[in-house]
Structure 1
Amino acid sequence: PSLPAAVSNEVPEHPCVSPVSNHVYERRLIEKYIAENGTDPVNNQPLSEEQLIDIKVAHPIRPKPPSATSIPAILKALQDEWDAVMLHSFTLRQQLQTTRQELSHALYQHDAACRVIARLTKEVTAAREALATLKPQAGLILLLGLSVLQPAGTCAGGDVAQAPAVRTKHPELPQGPLISLWGHFLACGINLASSYLVQGLHSASIPGILALDLCPSDTNKILTGGADKNVIVFDKSSEQILATLKGHSKKVTSVVFHPSQDLVFSASPDATIRIWSVPNASCVQVVRAHEASVTGLSLHATGDYLLSSSDDQYWAFSDIQTGRVLTKVTDESSGC
């Protein structure tokens, strides 16, 4: 229990003991009394501030005043406590509602940002695909311009300036004054680059036309092989794809038209040669003449046999009707 001070008769906040009278005083009050009288208030003996001894006690609990012990005062105190609790609860509810609104707004902004990002990503992808589609078109026109045997003279399409002949990389182009099939295609379409663009024939996700051939019987038909593993037969006059031939497991690096039949041939690094029927858009034969990437194709003059070369250092001679390999030849001096 707390000891009341001798002067105030209340529980002191800072108690101290007088060694003269052995009474407990409130330090604030006893210091004021000593400053005025210089004696102990109980026995009037001389006393100074230096003689006072502090008492170390826990923080005292001040008793309630007598007025707070009545029933109305107790009811009022309980009502005040209840009001404080309700006010605190209301404040917490307001903070919770504000936090919910802020969270809902943040989630809405996040969803809107995700939608914008998705739309922009879609637009970027579409732009990349459009750009990639333009690359095969430019490559096709450049290939037509560089791989022809262009003679001096004129054609129905207009004047052609005299220029030295350029040797073509196509195995079937004639080396003479006659205009080749490719040269005829370019010469009669001298303004092809500026007035006509072939739409992208191959998938833009893996762009690139890797092989091209013209039909000997109808120069409007173009045969292409692409990095997307597909073979495309395209009609220049109608600007339509006649057939999309799918079957290779790797890119198509060589394509050849049959001169008299509706057949086309394709080769790929998947070590296969495929013979396709254009009207049916189907593969009629798969020739497995090599164990490595097939690098080149050439059709025999009779149109019945196919010659192929490969990274396995072999040349193969195959029958296009049966798909059977007739013979394989290698250069013994190469060490194979």
Structure 2
Amino acid sequence: MQCVLSGEAPQEPVASKKSGIVYEKRLIEQYINEHGTEPNGEALTVEDLLPINTSRIPRPRPPTLTSIPALLATFQNEWDNLALETYNLREQLARTREELATALYQHDAAVRVIARLTKERDEARDSLSKITVTDGAANGDGMVVDSVEALPEDLAAQVDSVHQSLSKGRKKRSVPEGWVSSDQVSSFETTTTNALPVPRATALDVEGSYAVAGGLNGEAAIYSVEADNVERTIPVGEPVTDTLWAGSKVFFATSQGNVKVYEAGNEVGTLSEHAGPASGLSLHPSGDLLASVGTDKSIVFYHLETMKRVSRAYADASLTTCAFHPDGHLFAAGTVTGDIKLYMTKNLEQAVVFKLGAPVQALVFSENGFMLAATAKGQTSVTIFDLRKEGDAAVSKVLETGGSVQSLAWDYTGQFLATGGATGITVQQYTKSSKKWSEPLRNSVAAVAVRWGESGQKLISLNGEGVVTVLGVKE
């Protein structure tokens, strides 16, 4: 007969009336006083202990600590306490192991659920971006959509007003004083270069003497062209596919389907209307409307005053790039199928389609109001379309650049068309009087994006490594 707590033969054995387990009386009474239960967790009181009578030799009176029997008794008491403590520690260790196993199981289950939900979300986004929706149009030339949100009446009226004003003024417009000449363009050379903290750069825009660049690593930077230094870095946090500067605000389209808005280096808003990557941005000449297109086939217009969506429509293919006409009444979007679709800005009704034959890489309207330049992915040429014509007759000119073109930029006067690509930069000049094209500039500065500077006196380019190069006439 042994005590469960000490593992030794009890000197004063008692048994539990409830479980029948044998204990040393002093040990179990101490345990009950501390826990109010048996070691097995069942409630127990001292009255539930049943003494067990056994033949034994009575213990002598307690000796003092000055004798060996007294020391032995003390050691016995210490051993009893140690036995109780060891038992309690073993119980606590067992409970802790059970709790840890449960926590690990719950964590593993949570991770699995999160992974499954993330996978389902990505699959749903991918499926949505591949859906081709139709409205039962009578002919194949109409826009393939399931719904079109036209502009509100007040914004539509503003579009008409801006169109009338700009189209009339364009006919009387002359080349501004101090604008760059053909001779100056032909003498352009590298004036400054600067490596921006923008790895895997993809996008560039210019406002006055400042440029903004963004890249696929989610970083962006504001660069001072005049001072040749980085004014500010912007942690966008998502891969940048396009950027646009509008007044005091900078917009970034991202591969997460967002259009992020920054002012003075701070994020002031996020426009999330695309189910897939947002691929292009454009600003209406009124300065009040922003457009974005995406691989989910959607075209979205936003009112910059309210930062809300005011119009939306869907094309029949994923969209790669976009641009507003300089008068604001037309909106162009390029597709992965090689079509350039022109829509009426007010209601997003399709007006005409031009074909390139390969995914559209870049497109830009001329400030003269009737030319559209476009290039397709991998093409070494730039096609000039005449907006006054349709079909094959609309192809006014095909300009050969000698290398693949990734970016296009027309200057304010409509004379100079800059192209940028892996093999270098060219400037194509259109002379209105003779209606002929010439090439005043060709160099080997690689570029993923090009933009004209103030008065056309500078040409700013950005390559894939984030190096910005400024071309101009050296003094």
TM-score higher than 0.5: no
TM-score by length of 2: 0.32
Q: Larger relative CO (CA 8 A, sep 6+): 1 or 2? A: 2
Higher strand share: 2
Bigger radius of gyration: 1
TM-score by length of 1: 0.43
Higher helix share: 1
